[in-house]
């Protein structure tokens, strides 16, 4: 994509733009609380913690021995007649997919929602090759019509109102569609049905790849995942190398964790397990199946203090509970992944220079750690990234100055007393606190809040007086 | 790590040891907005006919996984005035597939704890998917307790290139989180739980 918000704007600028949209701040919490309630209800009689522990064990054992499992996966795919392609980075992944489309003489492509294809910015490359690309997930379809970006891992148009969706679809229809979610969905169904039937290639991601059986697993609700992998004559699945699971059995643990944490469902409407192209006696299905295994910075995380992030199953739950994400939405993060997982992945995949400020966009409340179905210590990872940024000297000068003065003042009892005593006295003077709130370092923070007054007598003094 | 035998304590996608799999299966089908009926082999044709209104003439495809029951169901539907196809004969004919109103399929398995029916690539990927109404015949002996059992059985199901779990009609909540039933997959899923096996009555 030529337009790259991450390098062109700062988090603060993007956040301010998003905060100006009142709908976002009500829509995101409304939708995400719904998922959290459903999750609680579903697991009321069950040991969710026990399931998380199993999920975390499966993921960490798999990632700890990633290469072994990948080798098995590749061998099992090959045995099933799946053509496997290794992509070290986004450019290689795009090149593979473009070549497969070219070799197949493809003209029309249907896509199933996939964060990995967003990550490699696939659509513009295919369109540049003259292909017609249609996103078939309702939300992604609207994102594509509007030339927008998805703002949530599993609910791409959580930031859009029904009216906005109506306007976009009405443009396609060439008439004013009624303001009714059911009618709008019906229109999209009919329009996209032609796309499925006419497509030469279906491109999906992969929620999991099972090494034991050489199976790509897709988890969807609308049925577009099934359509896109059944109708076209070629199926390409782009899979992050970390998505491997050793055994089919593991799905009995990972599926309820993914759907429970993601949408609060017991199971999504469709769970599709694809182990190859159409067999000789099968009535339908693609003649070719390709899997493109995407590294793009993942392998480099193995053996580092960030390895745990590879356990992620992209359920989106950490976004749902993040007090920052709930206010600013996904676009403020500037790249593909938003919320806590985005604040971790973006600096790791895009570098500290571009993504380094994202780990600051967290109150470190730990809500993400508590909800993550595979127990990724997100807030530790955020802290490590913050530290790394300072170590690398990537933090701005002002920030480093404030931090070192702070550290100096608070690291001895007497300096702390003097500094807090002076600060408290000064803040009692009306004009000082007003100026501080308006122009001082607190100005940005004080925009939406009033600056709290320090107590006249600090706590440590009160205790020693008693 | 807890013992695998205890998975049902942790995962709602498994059955408690004391649960009746058939009752739970039908309950879960209802929870995911599917409808269901329970009948004997002798009542099967009547049950399916009752689900498909006439007039008008409906375009109906039947998949091979219905086994011996397929010709019987097919004959009854034709007699009732419908156009009936064997799915594998029309699978490549996009125009016919696009205009199907109903598909009737069997299944390889069904998962009691999740209300899922499981079809395989061997009978066609599209059979359970392409029409607005899908009627699925589930022989009682095919019902398994939960996902763990299904995954254990998966390699031996004879599913071919695809194992597809479907739980109720397709759905989306993309527009302002309003739940809409019926997107790209069927809008109506009717499950017929058959006491006994599919046989020619
Ligand atoms: S980090 Fe955890 S909660 Fe966040 S998307 Fe990944 S798996 Fe889900």
DSSP one-letter string for B46-99: HHHHHHS--SSPPEEEE-GGGTTHHHHHHHHHHHTT-EEEEHHHHTT-HHHHHT
The pLDDT score that the predictor gives to residue A135 is 93
| pLDDT confidence band for A362 (50 / 70 / 90) | confident
**Mean of the pLDDT values across residues A428-448?**
70
ipTM of the prediction: 0.94
Please count the residues of chain A.
466
Percentage above 70 pLDDT, chain A: 94
pLDDT at B160 over 70: yes
Query: Is A255 touching B (CB cutoff 8 A)?
Result: yes
Query: Is A229 touching B (CB cutoff 8 A)?
Result: yes
Q: Cβ A50–B121 below 8 Å, yes or no?
A: no
Kindly report the nearest CA distance between residue B43 and chain A, in angstroms. 28
Least trusted range by pLDDT, from A169-183, A239-253, A316-330, A451-465:
A451-465
Q: How many CB pairs under 8 A join A and B?
A: 224
Percentage above 90 pLDDT, chain B: 85
Contact A60, A307 (CB under 8 A): no
pLDDT at B112 over 90: yes
**Mean of the pLDDT values across residues A123-136?**
95
CA B187 to CA A179: how far, in whole Å? 21
Query: Is A92 touching B (CB cutoff 8 A)?
Result: no
Percentage above 70 pLDDT, chain B: 95
**Mean of the pLDDT values across residues B88-115?**
95
Query: Could you tell me the residue ranges of all domains in chain A?
Result: 1-45+316-395, 47-299, 399-465
Q: State how far the alpha carbon of B69 is from the alpha carbons of A32, A64, B63, B72, B139, in Å.
A: 46, 50, 11, 5, 12
The pLDDT score that the predictor gives to residue A1 is 45
**Ligand 1 geometric centre to CA of A371 (Å):** 8
Most confident of the following: A35-39, A265-269, B114-118:
B114-118
Residue with the nearest Cα to atom 3 of ligand 1?
A372
Contact B112, B15 (CB under 8 A): yes
Least trusted range by pLDDT, from A96-100, A225-229, A350-354, B191-195:
A350-354
Q: Who wins on pLDDT, A329 or A97?
A: A97
pLDDT digits (tens, 9 = 90+) for A284-297: 999 999 999 999 99
Cα B134 off chain centre by: 7
Mutate to test the pocket of ligand 1, among A317, A359, A367 (most ligand atoms within 8 A of CB): A317
**pLDDT, chain B, mean:** 92
CATH for B20-195, options being 3.40.50.150, 3.30.420.40, 3.40.50.10420, 3.30.2010.10: 3.40.50.10420
Residue with the nearest Cα to atom 2 of ligand 1?
A372
Question: Degrees (nearest 5) of the Cα angle A92, A95, A101?
Answer: 145
The pLDDT score that the predictor gives to residue A448 is 66
User: What kind and span of H or E run contains B152?
Assistant: helix B147-153
- A372 CB under 6 A from ligand 1? yes
> Among residues A306, A321, A399, A315, which one has the least CA distance to residue A363?
A321
> Among residues B91, B82, B94, B117, which one has the least CA distance to residue B190?
B117
On chain B, the residues whose CB falls within 8 A of the CB of A213 are: 154-155
| pLDDT confidence band for A205 (50 / 70 / 90) | very high
Nearest to B183 among A47, A138, A275 (CB): A138
Q: Who wins on pLDDT, A7 or A247?
A: A247
Closest atom of ligand 1 to A262 CA is 8
Could you tell me whether strands A270-274 and B109-111 are parallel, antiparallel, or unpaired per DSSP bridges? Answer: unpaired
- A316 CB under 6 A from ligand 1? yes
Query: Is A189 touching B (CB cutoff 8 A)?
Result: yes
CA A257 to CA A39: how far, in whole Å? 10
**pLDDT, chain A, mean:** 88
Q: Who wins on pLDDT, A455 or B132?
A: B132
Fold of A47-299: Rossmann fold (3.40.50)
Encoded tokens for A385? 């990234």
Q: Cβ B97–A197 below 8 Å, yes or no?
A: yes
β-sheet bridge partners, residue A111: A135, A203
CA A420 to CA A416: how far, in whole Å? 6
pLDDT at A226 over 90: yes
Q: Which residue from B minimizes the CA distance to A152?
A: B174
Q: Cβ B126–A51 below 8 Å, yes or no?
A: no
Give the 3-state secondary structure of residue A163: helix
Q: State how far the alpha carbon of A252 is from the alpha carbons of A273, A283, B148, B150, in Å.
A: 13, 29, 5, 9
**Ligand 1 geometric centre to CA of A316 (Å):** 6
On chain A, the residues whose CB falls within 8 A of the CB of B4 are: 249
The pLDDT score that the predictor gives to residue B1 is 43
Closest atom of ligand 1 to A368 CA is 3
Which string of b and e fits B12-44 if b means at least 16 CB within 10 Å? bbbbeeebebbebbbebbeebbbbbbbbebebb
On chain B, the residues whose CB falls within 8 A of the CB of A224 are: 183-184
Residue with the nearest Cα to atom 8 of ligand 1?
A315
Nearest to B11 among A192, A193, A252 (CB): A252
- A315 CB under 6 A from ligand 1? yes
| Total-model pTM | 0.90
Nearest to B154 among A196, A248, A255 (CB): A248
The pLDDT score that the predictor gives to residue B200 is 41
- A318 CB under 6 A from ligand 1? yes
Most confident of the following: A26-40, A131-145, B139-153:
B139-153
Kindly report the nearest CA distance between residue A164 and chain B, in angstroms. 10
Q: Which residue from B minimizes the CA distance to A57?
A: B1
**Mean of the pLDDT values across residues A11-38?**
75
Residue with the nearest Cα to atom 7 of ligand 1?
A312
Closest atom of ligand 1 to A378 CA is 1
On chain B, the residues whose CB falls within 8 A of the CB of A184 are: 175
- A341 CB under 6 A from ligand 1? yes
φ, ψ at A361 (rounded to 5°): -80, 55
Q: Cβ A284–B116 below 8 Å, yes or no?
A: no
β-sheet bridge partners, residue A237: A204, A291
> Among residues B113, B110, B109, B117, which one has the least CA distance to residue B9?
B113
**Mean of the pLDDT values across residues A429-445?**
70
Encoded tokens for B111? 């998962």
Query: Could you tell me the residue ranges of all domains in chain B?
Result: 20-195
| pLDDT confidence band for B98 (50 / 70 / 90) | very high
**Mean of the pLDDT values across residues A396-409?**
78
Residue of B162, B168, B170, B191 to mutate when probing chain A, most A C-beta within 10 A: B162
CB count in 10 Å sphere of residue A463: 8
pLDDT at A20 over 50: yes
Q: Cβ A57–B1 below 8 Å, yes or no?
A: yes
Window 51-80 of A: residues touching B by CB (8 A cutoff) are: 51, 53-54, 57, 80
């Amino acid at each position: 994509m030529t337009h790259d918000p991450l390098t062109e704007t700062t988090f603060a600028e993007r956040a301010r733009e998003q905060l100006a949209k009142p709908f976002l701040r009500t829509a995101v919490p409304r939708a995400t609380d719904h998922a959290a309630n459903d999750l609680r209800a579903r697991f009321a009689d069950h040991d969710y913690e026990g399931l998380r522990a199993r999920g975390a064990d499966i993921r960490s054992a798999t990632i700890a021995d990633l290469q072994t499992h990948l080798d098995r996966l590749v061998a099992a795919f090959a045995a099933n007649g799946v053509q496997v392609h290794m992509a070290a980075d986004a450019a290689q992944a795009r090149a593979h997919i473009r070549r497969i489309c070219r070799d197949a003489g493809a003209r029309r492509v249907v896509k199933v929602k996939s964060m990995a294809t967003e990550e490699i910015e696939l659509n513009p490359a295919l369109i540049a090759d003259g292909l017609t690309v249609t996103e078939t997930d309702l939300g992604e379809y609207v994102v594509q019509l509007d030339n927008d970006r998805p703002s949530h891992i599993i609910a791409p148009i959580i930031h859009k109102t029904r009216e906005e969706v109506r306007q976009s679809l009405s443009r396609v229809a060439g008439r004013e569609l009624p303001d009714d979610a059911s009618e709008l969905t019906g229109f999209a169904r009919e329009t996209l049905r032609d796309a499925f039937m006419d497509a030469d290639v279906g491109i999906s991601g992969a929620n999991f790849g099972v090494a034991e059986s050489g199976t790509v697993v897709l988890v969807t609700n609308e049925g577009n995942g099934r359509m896109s992998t059944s109708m076209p004559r070629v199926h390409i699945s782009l899979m992050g190398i970390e998505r491997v699971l050793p055994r089919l059995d593991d799905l009995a643990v990972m599926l309820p964790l993914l759907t429970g944490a993601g949408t609060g469902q017991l199971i999504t409407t469709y769970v599709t397990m694809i182990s190859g192209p159409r067999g000789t006696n099968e009535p339908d299905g693609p003649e070719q199946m390709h899997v493109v295994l995407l590294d793009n910075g993942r392998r480099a995380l193995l053996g580092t203090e960030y390895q745990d992030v590879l356990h992620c199953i992209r359920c989106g739950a950490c976004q749902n509970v993040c007090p920052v994400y709930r206010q600013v939405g996904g676009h403020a993060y500037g790249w593909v992944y938003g919320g806590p997982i985005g604040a971790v992945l973006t600096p790791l995949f895009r570098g500290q220079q571009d993504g380094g400020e994202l780990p600051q966009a967290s109150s470190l409340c730990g809500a993400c750690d508590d909800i993550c179905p595979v127990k990724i210590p997100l807030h530790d990872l955020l802290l490590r990234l913050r530290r790394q940024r300072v170590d690398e000297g990537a933090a701005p000068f002002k920030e480093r100055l404030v931090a070192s003065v702070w550290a100096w003042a608070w690291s001895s009892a007497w300096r702390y007393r003097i500094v807090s005593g002076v600060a408290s006295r000064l803040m009692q003077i009306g004009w000082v606190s007003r100026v501080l709130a308006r122009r001082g370092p607190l100005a940005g923070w004080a925009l939406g809040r009033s600056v709290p007054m320090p107590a006249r007598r600090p706590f440590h003094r009160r205790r020693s007086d008693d | 790590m807890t013992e695998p035998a205890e998975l049902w304590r942790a995962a709602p996608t498994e059955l408690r040891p004391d649960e009746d799999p058939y009752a739970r299966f039908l309950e879960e089908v209802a929870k995911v907005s599917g409808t269901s009926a329970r009948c004997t082999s002798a009542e099967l044709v009547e049950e399916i006919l009752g689900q498909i209104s006439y007039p008008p003439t409906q375009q109906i495809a039947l998949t091979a996984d219905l086994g011996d029951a397929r010709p019987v169901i097919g004959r009854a539907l034709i007699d009732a005035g419908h156009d009936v196809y064997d799915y594998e004969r029309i699978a490549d004919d996009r125009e016919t597939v696009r205009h199907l109103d109903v598909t009737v399929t069997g299944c390889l398995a069904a998962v009691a704890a999740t209300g899922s029916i499981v079809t395989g690539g061997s009978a066609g990927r599209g059979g359970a998917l392409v029409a607005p109404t899908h009627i699925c015949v589930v022989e009682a002996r095919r019902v398994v307790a939960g996902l763990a059992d299904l995954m254990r059985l998966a390699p031996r199901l004879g599913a071919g290139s695809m194992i597809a779990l479907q739980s109720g009609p397709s759905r989306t909540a993309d527009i302002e989180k309003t739940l809409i039933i019926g997107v790209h997959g069927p809008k109506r899923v009717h499950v017929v739980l058959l006491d006994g096996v599919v046989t020619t009555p």
